[in-house]
Structure 1
Amino acid sequence: MEKLNTSHSMSCLRCGICCTRHQSIVSFEEAQRIASYLGITMHDWVKAYSDQKWPSDNNYLIRHVDSACIFLKYDKDMSYCDIQSCKPSCCADWIPSLEKKECRQGLSKY
């Protein structure tokens, strides 16, 4: 397994660029957890938040709206995740770093 280089890791700038460049793939269990957090049924979550073009029955692709994750919100110039406390593992595992073009692009905004 390749070791993750964290030598250039940094604090998140909350620019939201990573949430516009990537679509999150979530397991059935993660989708259920998000649906529960939102207080809706799994059926309603699939209809409202998953990308219907995704061909898998085993996992879901979180839908993008206006070229960004449907859960990405903005407060002035700062972005935030509307489901921060139960966000998918692929999002929670994202480590901001100067080695990532999304973070370098976000840094150039400031």
Structure 2
Amino acid sequence: MASPRFSPEQAAFLAIAATEQRLVTYGEFADRFGGIAQGWGAKLTEMGEWLKDQGLPLLPVLVVNKQTRLPSADANFYRRLGLDEEGLKREQQACFNFDWSTQPFWTEEK
């Protein structure tokens, strides 16, 4: 398995949120990792694509709009996957149900 190009710390943060069964707003994510809330689309897409390729739940679905509790309506990645509102909620639940302790994907291969 190839190492991801996104920040391992960001993926680990979302995996921890998943184990706690909680969503993270774009604002919280930006506060934690810098930048502005609207500026994370490309990195979250990159993370989602990598996870999809590995057959893992899509952790970026846990990063949500504060009001809707869903990822941005502008997130083309999810539309390309055919995920509507119900599909996004199912994917969030898949993240919550997954045992992330068995998949330390954020560590680099040796």
The bucket for the TM-score relative to the shorter chain is under 0.3
The structure carrying a bigger helix percent of its residues is: 2
The structure carrying a bigger strand percent of its residues is: 1
User: Normalised by the size of structure 2, how large is the TM-score?
Assistant: 0.27
